Amino acid sequence: MIGPLTDPTAHGGTAADAFDVIIPSLPGFGFSDKPTEHGWNVERIASAWVELMQRLGYSHYVAQGGDFGAFVSTAMAQQSPPGLSAIHLNFAQTIPDEIPAKLLHDQKRALEAWKIFRERNSAYLQLQSTRPQTIGSALADTPVGQCAWIYDIFNWGTGNTGRPENALNRDAMLDEITLYWLTNTAASSARIYLEQAALMGMHNNPGRVELPVGVSVFPNDLPAARSWAPLVYPKLFYWHELDRGGHFAALEVPQLFTEELRTCFQAFRRA
């Protein structure tokens, strides 16, 4: 996605679609340092990203996130730093803490999907949010275990077909898995789940965002309910539910994802 976003005229877009692209790596992941103390939750990471943008000299920017990036971008928007104008999420959290007795269709669908995820697909989440060092030590001991662990998450994020390679390039998946292995970040990347669990407690969403928000919903991800969205995102300016793609949309459907960012922020500029 970097080429199409930074040089759109070479990839079917116009000069007005061009972005500078800043891609920080979460602490404990990939090439970032491993945290050596508690407290590196999404709020602290968001503060670090704000500081990063200030040091790089950006006085006007937007933020985008999926998966944990969605939580970080949300926290950035809640901190409302000077310069941050809007955010785009492809993992929006819309379920309220108090569930009404009568549910609309999209609300029922979101709750049912979340229930299935918790009961059948969240083993990695439960372990990493309660015993990250234990599972991290086990994964760091075997490349086959590390591969199986992330391959299973890729499977969930692409529709639970049992064959994520039908949606994601096998070499791309191996690149991602190898990055965890070579940097020995199984445990350090797992700890963010413990930090996030302590931060959110029993809440179903991270709280209201008062900055403008755009949302893209991909079908093989956990669905977000449009009817609940204004409760969390009162300045929602863009919402699009797509017909293909999943939790790792930037990796799975990069061209489609690029178009989502362009369309979303074109709408923001017009507004």
| Helices and strands (H and E) in the chain: how many | 12, 4
- 240 assigned to active site: no
At 227, list the tokens: 């009817």
pLDDT of residue 175: 97
pLDDT of residue 94: 97
Q: Got the DSSP string for 182-249?
A: HHT-HHHHHHHHHHHHHHHTT-SS-----S-EEEEE-TBS----TTTHHHH-TTEEEEEE-SS-BTTH
Q: Three-state DSSP class for 141?
A: coil
Looking up tokens 């049912």, which residue turns up?
112
Q: Is the pLDDT of residue 56 over 90?
A: yes
pLDDT of residue 54: 97
Q: Which of 7, 61, 67, 124 is catalytic?
A: 67
Q: By mean pLDDT, which of 11-25, 92-106, 229-243 is the weakest?
A: 11-25
- 247 assigned to active site: yes
Return mean pLDDT, the chain.
Answer: 96
- pLDDT tens-digit map of 201-235: 889 999 999 999 999 999 999 999 999 999 999 99
Q: Is the pLDDT of residue 270 over 90?
A: no
Domains and CATH numbers, the chain: 2-270 (3.40.50.1820)
Are the CB atoms for 69 and 257 separated by under 8 Å? Answer: no
Q: Which of 17, 88, 180, 193 is catalytic?
A: 193
pLDDT of residue 62: 98
pLDDT of residue 236: 98
- 67 assigned to active site: yes
Q: Which of 88, 106, 233, 247 is catalytic?
A: 247
- pLDDT tens-digit map of 14-28: 898 999 999 999 999
Q: What is the DSSP letter of 26?
A: P
